[in-house]
Amino acid sequence: MDKDQLIHEIGKTIIQDIGGHNSNWTHLVMVGTIEDGSSKMSGFAYLKDGKYEPVSPSGFATAELLEELRTKMAKDDHKAPWRTALIQIDRNTGEIKFDFEYDRADRWAINLRNSSARAAELKPSET
């Protein structure tokens, strides 16, 4: 698959996995980090009522596709691989947006201590 196909497939996988559990979401925002041979993904489902729920993929399919995208981009762009990806999905428009961080793996890191602050920071302006 090429880069665009992988991005589409990642978005589709996230929507099927996470979006399928709650029909009330307007936006899905995921952070995928790949470091030292391991990957992790977590994020938020932003709901129609303005609230959010922490979410993460139930299996490894999304992380595997993300690792494939990372490898493909590094090879095609002839540069070091990115460390973290921010994935934003807008349910109304179907838009899938990716941002990549090449230096700081913790740029969008989500953990128990910063979850509320990170949810507010990553909240799409339309919700």
Provide CATH code, domain 3-122: 3.30.500.20
Q: Where are the beta strands (DSSP E) in the chain?
A: 25-35, 38-47, 52-55, 84-90, 96-101
List, for residues 93-108, the tens digit of each pLDDT value: 999 999 999 999 999 9
The model's pTM: 0.93
Structure tokens at 30: 């995921």
Strands 84-90 and 52-55, how do they pair?
unpaired
SS3 content of the chain, % helix, strand, coil (to 5): 35, 30, 35
The pLDDT value recorded for residue 43 is 96
Would the pLDDT of 127 be above 50? no
List, for residues 4-16, the tens digit of each pLDDT value: 999 999 999 999 9
Would the pLDDT of 62 be above 60? yes
Mean pLDDT within 30-38: 90
